[in-house]
Structure 1
Amino acid sequence: MYAIRHSRRLLPLGLIVMFAPIAAAQRVATFTVPLDGPVPAEGVPVSAELPDLPAEAAFDLYEVRGAEREWVPSQREGGGRKRLHWLVAPRAGGAAGRVYELARLPAATDVPQAEMNLVDRDGVLTLRAGERELLGYYHAVQQAPAGESPLYARSGFIHPLRAPHGQVLTQIQPMGDFHHYGLWAPWPRVGFEGREIDFWNLGDGKGTVRFTRFAATSEGSVFAEYQAEQEHVVLLPEGGEKVALREVQTVRGYRMLAADAYLLDLTIVLRCAGAVPVTLLDYRYGGPGWRPTAEWNRTNSEMLTSEGLARPAIDGSRARWCLVQGEVDGGGDYAGAAWLTHPGNFNSPEPMRVWPEDKNGRGDVFVNFAPAKGRDWPLEPGKDYVLRYRFLVFNGHRAAEAAEGAWRSFTKPPVVQVE
Structure 2
Amino acid sequence: MKLFVISLLPIISLANLFSDARPSVHETEEFVIIRTVEGKPLFEYRKKPSEKAKNNAPHYSRTGYIHPLYSPSGKVITGDYAPDHPHQHGLFFAWTKSSFRGKPTEFWNQKKKLGDIRFNQFLGKTENKKSLSLQFEQIFTANKDSNEPILKETWKIVIPHKQRDYFQFDLTSIQSCATEDPLVIERYHYGGMAIRGNDQWMIKVEDGNPLGKMITSEEKNPENGNHTRPRWVAMHGPVDGQECGVVVMNHPDNFRFPQWVRLHPTMPYFVYSPMVEEPFTIESGKPYISKFRYLLYDGTPDHGVIEGSWKEWIKN
- Normalising to structure 2: TM-score of the pair? 0.87
| Preserved contact between residue 342 and residue 389 of structure 1 (Cα < 8 Å) | yes
Which segments of 5 or more consecutive residues in structure 2 lack a partner in the other structure?
1-7, 203-208
Q: 1:320 aligns with which of 225, 231, 234?
A: 231
**CA 1:176 to 1:396, structure 2 compared with 1: closer, same or farther past 3 Å?**
closer
2: CA distance between counterparts of 1:296 and 1:143? Answer: 21
Aligned pairs, how many?
A: 298
**CA 1:373 to 1:329, structure 2 compared with 1: closer, same or farther past 3 Å?**
same
1:240 CA drift (Å): 4.5
Kindly provide the CA deviation profile for residues 114-137 of structure 1, in whole angstroms up to 9, marking residues without a partner as x. 111200124110011132110000
Q: Which residue of 2 aligns with 1:100?
A: none
| Preserved contact between residue 226 and residue 251 of structure 1 (Cα < 8 Å) | yes
1:241 CA drift (Å): 4.7
Where does 1:66-145 land on structure 2 (aligned, <5 Å)? 113-130=20-37, 131-142=39-50, 145=53
2: CA distance between counterparts of 1:262 and 1:334? Answer: 15
1:146 CA drift (Å): 4.0
Q: Which residue of 1 aligns with 2:205?
A: none
Q: Which residue of 2 aligns with 1:234?
A: 142
Residue 385 (structure 1) aligned with residue 288 (structure 2): yes
Residue 343 (structure 1) aligned with residue 258 (structure 2): no
Structure with greater Cα Rg: 1
Q: Over aligned residues, Cα RMSD in angstroms? A: 2.2
SS at match of 1:151: helix
Q: Which residue of 2 aligns with 1:376?
A: 279
| Preserved contact between residue 36 and residue 163 of structure 2 (Cα < 8 Å) | no
| Preserved contact between residue 29 and residue 47 of structure 2 (Cα < 8 Å) | no
Runs of 4+ off more than 6 Å: none
| Preserved contact between residue 116 and residue 222 of structure 1 (Cα < 8 Å) | no
- Normalising to structure 1: TM-score of the pair? 0.67
Kindly provide the CA deviation profile for residues 28-73 of structure 1, in whole angstroms up to 9, marking residues without a partner as x. xxxxxxxxxxxx7359xxxxxxxxxxxxxxxxxxxxxxxxxxxx87
Q: Which residue of 2 aligns with 1:88?
A: none
SS at match of 2:123: strand
| Preserved contact between residue 244 and residue 278 of structure 1 (Cα < 8 Å) | yes
> Sequence identity, in percent?
27
Where does 1:178-327 land on structure 2 (aligned, <5 Å)? 178-219=86-127, 222-235=130-143, 240-258=146-164, 260-297=165-202, 298-327=209-238
What is the letter of the counterpart of residue 137 of structure 2?
E
Kindly provide the CA deviation profile for residues 71-107 of structure 1, in whole angstroms up to 9, marking residues without a partner as x. x87xxxxxxxxxxxxxxxxxxxxxxxxxxxxxxxxxx
**CA 1:136 to 1:323, structure 2 compared with 1: closer, same or farther past 3 Å?**
same
1:210 CA drift (Å): 1.0
1:309 CA drift (Å): 0.9
1: CA distance between counterparts of 2:163 and 2:119? Answer: 32
1:301 CA drift (Å): 3.1
Structure 1 stretch 341-350 or stretch 146-155: which is displaced more? 146-155
Task: Kindly indicate whether structure 1 or structure 2 has the higher relative contact order, using CA contacts under 8 Å at least 6 residues apart.
Answer: 2
2: CA distance between counterparts of 1:220 and 1:167? Answer: 29
SS at match of 1:185: strand
What is the letter of the counterpart of residue 163 of structure 1?
S
